[in-house]
């Protein structure tokens, strides 16, 4: 059982209800922190999102760490090769989910290097001999600070690491026969990237955008205007119908957020 602690997620802004819109710095109101085990049990019924029977990127999302970070396992349903996006912690749960699918994990993908997204990276990479792909080099200082982040937020010990491959805007990542496009989306952190599967109509956006909110920008390297520019210039072109998997909370579509999210409404 993971000890529950009241701590502030490194995640999202929440609209404070001002007429001027989103202030972009308050703590995202996730559900109360719960043990990852309990959260996983509750979410078990979500199972894998099966998009089409064959020849399509598939994924399963499981909330990990006391911050309920949406770690996703993505895989090619032809080869059953898979990647873990953002293994922030609760590695036993992640490995059990991969085994159950069953998916053969071949790489770790990182959106950014906050502890709830990257805390388990070094250990998982070591234990399964996996390459670490991403984030963008702008997050080097957050990777270096992982041990300190772990102490500050009362996470299990976390090691820093050197990515096997840094990512840049316009790169692609291959998962089996599926290709994920990479967009650099700074603003929440300087080196934040998102992964886009055009074939599946899905985007894994970390803490850039949430259903009803956007990432917080008060942490080192954060910048509100840069974040909004990332969202409008690099996410919106993926299309209104694209379903995004945020770093915390439920999925939504870009179209719905453009219409309803007070932080980016009308953009």
Contact between 114 and Zn ion (CB under 5 A)? yes
Cα angle 218, 163, 180 (rounded to 5 degrees) comes to 85
Shortest Å distance, C-beta 115 to Zn ion: 9
- Of the pair 176, 246, the CB lying nearest Zn ion is at 246
d(CA 85, CA 111): 7
Shortest Å distance, C-beta 257 to Zn ion: 17
Tokens of 147: 């041990």
Contact between 11 and Zn ion (CB under 5 A)? yes
Residues 6+ apart with CB under 8 A from 126: none
- Of the pair 176, 247, the CB lying nearest Zn ion is at 247
Shortest Å distance, C-beta 55 to Zn ion: 32
3-state secondary structure of 73: strand
Shortest Å distance, C-beta 73 to Zn ion: 17
Shortest Å distance, C-beta 35 to Zn ion: 18
- Of the pair 90, 207, the CB lying nearest Zn ion is at 207
d(CA 187, CA 168): 15
SS3 track for 200-228: CCEEEEECCEECCEEECCCCCCCCHHHHH
- Of the pair 117, 196, the CB lying nearest Zn ion is at 117
Binder among 77, 81, 207, 257 for Zn ion (CB under 5 A):
207
Of the listed pieces 5-13, 27-35, 103-111, 259-267, which binds Zn ion according to CB under 5 A?
5-13
Shortest Å distance, C-beta 88 to Zn ion: 8
* Site size toward Zn ion, by CB under 5 A: 6
- Of the pair 196, 248, the CB lying nearest Zn ion is at 248
* 197-194-227-124 Cα dihedral, nearest 10 degrees: 150
- Of the pair 207, 257, the CB lying nearest Zn ion is at 207
Cα angle 62, 32, 38 (rounded to 5 degrees) comes to 45
Q: What residue spans of 67-159 are helical by DSSP H? A: 91-100, 115-118, 121-128, 140-144, 146-152
Contact between 184 and Zn ion (CB under 5 A)? no
- Of the pair 58, 217, the CB lying nearest Zn ion is at 217
d(CA 143, CA 225): 24
Residues 6+ apart with CB under 8 A from 120: 64, 87, 88, 89, 90, 91, 94, 158
Contact between 10 and Zn ion (CB under 5 A)? yes
Shortest Å distance, C-beta 19 to Zn ion: 27
Contact between 57 and Zn ion (CB under 5 A)? no
Residue numbers at the binding site for Zn ion (CB under 5 A): 10-11, 114, 116, 207, 247
């Amino acid at each position: 059982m993971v000890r529950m602690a009241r701590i502030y997620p490194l995640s999202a802004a929440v609209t404070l209800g001002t007429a001027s819109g989103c202030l972009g710095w308050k703590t995202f109101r996730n559900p109360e922190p719960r043990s990852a085990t309990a959260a996983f049990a509750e979410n078990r019924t979500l199972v894998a999102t099966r998009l089409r029977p064959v020849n399509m990127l598939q994924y399963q999302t499981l909330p990990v760490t006391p911050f309920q970070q949406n770690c996703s396992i993505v895989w090619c349903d032809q080869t059953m090769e898979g990647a873990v996006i953002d293994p922030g912690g609760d590695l036993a749960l992640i490995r059990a989910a991969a085994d159950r699918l069953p998916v053969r994990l071949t790489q770790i993908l990182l959106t950014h290097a906050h502890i709830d997204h990257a805390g388990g990276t070094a250990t998982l990479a070591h234990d399964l001999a996996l390459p670490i792909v991403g984030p963008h080099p702008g997050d080097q200082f957050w990777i270096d600070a992982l041990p300190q982040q772990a102490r500050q937020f009362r996470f299990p010990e976390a090691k820093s690491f050197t990515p096997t491959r840094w990512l840049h805007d316009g790169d692609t990542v291959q998962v089996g026969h599926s290709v994920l496009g990479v967009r650099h989306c700074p603003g929440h952190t300087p080196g934040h990237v998102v992964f886009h599967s055009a074939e599946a109509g899905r985007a894994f956006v970390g803490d850039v955008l949430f259903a009803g909110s956007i990432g917080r920008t008060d942490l080192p390297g954060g910048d509100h205007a840069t974040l909004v520019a990332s969202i409008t210039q690099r996410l919106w072109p993926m299309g209104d119908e694209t379903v995004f998997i945020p770093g915390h909370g439920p999925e939504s579509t870009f179209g719905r957020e453009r219409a309803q999210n007070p932080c980016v409404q009308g953009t």
